[in-house]
Structures are given as structure tokens and as C-alpha cells.
Amino acid sequence: MMSFGLYAAGFAILIIGLIYGAFLLHVPAQWIAVGAIILLGFGILTGVKSTRQKDPPA
């Protein structure tokens, strides 16, 4: 099972790479920010889903 910190670090590296690529393609800064915020939210949601532990049976 992957820890949330490791998952978040990997996703942060992905986001930074995509931001840099968009910058090199001369994408307007406001759209880069919108894309980064959306990816950050998506990363948090999938990270929590992937790394949370199952609840014990009652």
C-alpha cells in the first residue's frame, strides 16, 4: 500500500511538469493556474481514495 505522502509527491512532480510544458507552449497564465488547481484537487481525491485504509467490520 502506497502512503499518501509518496502519492502526493509524485502527483506534485507531475503537475510541475505539466505547468512547465504549458509555459513553454505559451499558454496564458490564468489557464495554467486553473489547470493546476483542477489537477491538485483531482490528485487529492485520488490519493485519499487510493491510500485510505478500509474500515474494520462492525
Residue 12: what pLDDT?
Answer: 94
Residue 1: what pLDDT?
Answer: 55
Residue 13: what pLDDT?
Answer: 96
Residue 16: what pLDDT?
Answer: 97
User: CA 33, CA 24: separation in Å to the nearest integer?
Assistant: 14
User: CA 23, CA 10: separation in Å to the nearest integer?
Assistant: 20
Q: How many independent structural domains does the chain possess?
A: 1
Q: What is the pTM of this model?
A: 0.79
Which domain does 21 fall in, by range?
Answer: 4-51
User: CA 34, CA 4: separation in Å to the nearest integer?
Assistant: 24
57 inside domain: no
58 inside domain: no
* pLDDT digit string, tens, across residues 2-58: 688 888 899 999 999 999 999 999 999 999 999 999 999 999 998 888 887 777 777
Residue 19: what pLDDT?
Answer: 96
